[in-house]
Amino acid sequence: MPHKLTIQELTAQLAAKQLTAREATQACLDRIAAVDGRLNAFNSHDAENALAQADTADAAIAAGESKPLLGIPIAIKDVIAVKDQPLTCSSKILGEFNSPYEATVITKLRNAGAIIFGRLNMDEFAMGSSTENSAFGVSRNPWDTGRIPGGSSGGSAVAVAADECIAALGSDTGGSIRQPAALCGCVGLKPTYGRVSRYGLVAYASSLDQIGPVTKDTRDAATLLNAISGHCKYDSTSIPRNVPDYTAPLGRDIKGLRIGLPKEFLGEGLDPEVRAATEAAVKQLAELGAKVTEISLPHTEYAVATYYIIATAEASANLARFEGVRYGARVEGDDPEAMNRATRGAGFGEEVKRRIILGTYVLSSGYYDAYYLRAQKVRTLIRNDFLEAFEKVDLIASPTAPTAAFKIGEKADDPLQMYLSDIYTISANLASICGISVPCGFTSENLPVGLQLLGKPFGEETLLQAAHAYEQSTEWHQRKPDLS
């Protein structure tokens, strides 16, 4: 079954002529037809275009070409621009908009030979932790379709976990790759801010957003990160720094690696079964030779408040461009102001409106210093906590999420409880460091649990080395949901 293969496995079979790219792509299309009616991972997909790309890849393979992702179908979160394909951000306000240009990461994937395949569901404009805030309807967790898959890259995690694609791209503003990966039982990697170009990523919070891979194992995450990393002249926040081979450290032992366990991440609100799985994972890392010590990140308690001030302020500014004049949907009014008000009122969902209002408030005259400026100062304190910790340890370990996947609708009427779903992930975005979630166990209800590892800025090599060592010493990543 080609759709169940990893990037590494499919690449080997394509090279050995055991499979064709067309057969692999068709297998993914057949899988979508079989299961996506229950899961709703995809907003759209163009089968004819995907198969045409596959035929091109097969011709290249037959001609002896060798590229790291040649013939690999990779699905894309519907917030990343692919030329001439829909770009909806799972929002009504973009209507029938098709992107006139291509994101840098898509260009890089094409150059590596990948088949760009489908548009994945998400929380509207990446604002959410459950993929319930989508104009296309909620995506469902393949382990229990009555539960959320996490968010905002819920469609990406569902598609990978359910074998509807070989791998996917998501975006992570406060945990939006790592948290759904944890809840769906796959691997999610948030690169260091500036490691991967944001050109072509529809902005939610520009100082926090980062594109990254969602995959079936850590080697695939490293392979995708190789392909999408690097400096981009179109992104002023992209760092001009050499890209190492992230697959090179995989397989090395982790003896002597120093791992910190922050006491603030194991306190109130952490589900006992998630705690037990995390502690077992940390014990396994120690058995592999890592030195585990308790550390403190003293400003953790302010992270959620800080994040939701900074992120909403930036969202308020970024989403001002959606006004019904230049592109997307339009609701007519008696004058431009009425048209603008009607368009935004009908086009944006409730959570997006909530965050725009909150962001506008904290930026307004009289409140800027009290909220936004103070939040920026606390953000510096949070980043300094991590930098000081990384003087003593190489990596930091924690749960990815405080609970396993909760039931659809369970937290829909309680935004604060929903926001706390990201309590362990948002600090990495505030601190501009890298992080990964890998499967580390299951609850008594057979729901996946994720282990989060956080690394120094541009420390993805060590991050992937440790994640791969842990992954290969356990069998959690090999479990698959039953969708028969």
Query: Peptide bond preceding 437: is omega within 30 degrees of 0, i.e. cis?
Result: no
Question: 235 phi and psi, to 5 degrees?
Answer: -120, 110
- The alpha carbon torsion through 172, 176, 179, 184 (nearest 10 deg) reads -110
To the query of whether residue 77 is one of the catalytic residues in this protein, the response is: yes
Closest CA to 105 of 70, 81, 71, 88: 81
Q: Which two tokens stand for residue 145?
A: 């379709």
**In which residue are the tokens 């340890």 written?**
393
Q: Angle at the Cα of 180 (from 217 to 144), degrees rounded to 5?
A: 95
Q: Among this protein's residues, is 152 annotated catalytic?
A: yes
Q: Retrieve residue 413's tokens.
A: 């009427």
- 482, β-bridge pairs: none
* Cα-based torsion angle of the residue sequence 211, 217, 218, 219 in order, rounded to the nearest 10 degrees: -100
383 Cβ partners below 8 Å, 6+ apart?
430, 431, 432
Which is the catalytic residue, given 77, 108, 216, 411?
A: 77
Tell the burial category of 83 from Cβ atoms under 10 Å away from its Cβ (0-12, 13-18, 19+): middle
Contacts of 17 (CB under 8 A, 6+ apart): none
**CA atoms of 482 and 484, how far apart (whole Å):** 6
Structure tokens that stand for 403 in this block? 């609970």
With H, G, I as helix, E, B as strand and everything else as coil, classify residue 408.
Answer: coil
Please check whether residue 246 is in contact with residue 284, taking contact to mean a CB–CB distance below 8 angstroms: no
Per DSSP (E only), the strands in 335-471 are 395-399, 434-442, 448-455
Helix ranges, 190-302 (H): 218-228, 272-287
- Which residue among 99, 130, 152, 421 is the active-site one? 152
Given the residues 129, 130, 176, 437, select the one marked as catalytic.
176
Burial class (CB in 10 A: 0-12, 13-18, 19+), 357: exposed
Tokens 């009122």: give the residue.
Answer: 345
Question: What is the side-by-side order of every strand in the sheet holding 434-442?
Answer: 42-44, 115-120, 73-77, 167-171, 211-215, 187-190, 434-442, 448-455, 395-399, 258-262, 291-295
Contact by Cβ (8 Å): 150, 417: no
176 is catalytic: yes
Q: Where are the alpha helices (DSSP H) in 40-70?
A: 47-62
CA distance 399 to 58: 42
Alpha carbons within 13 A on the beta-carbon side of 324: 20
**What are the structure tokens assigned to 272, written together?**
């006992």
Active-site residues, by number, are: 77, 152, 176
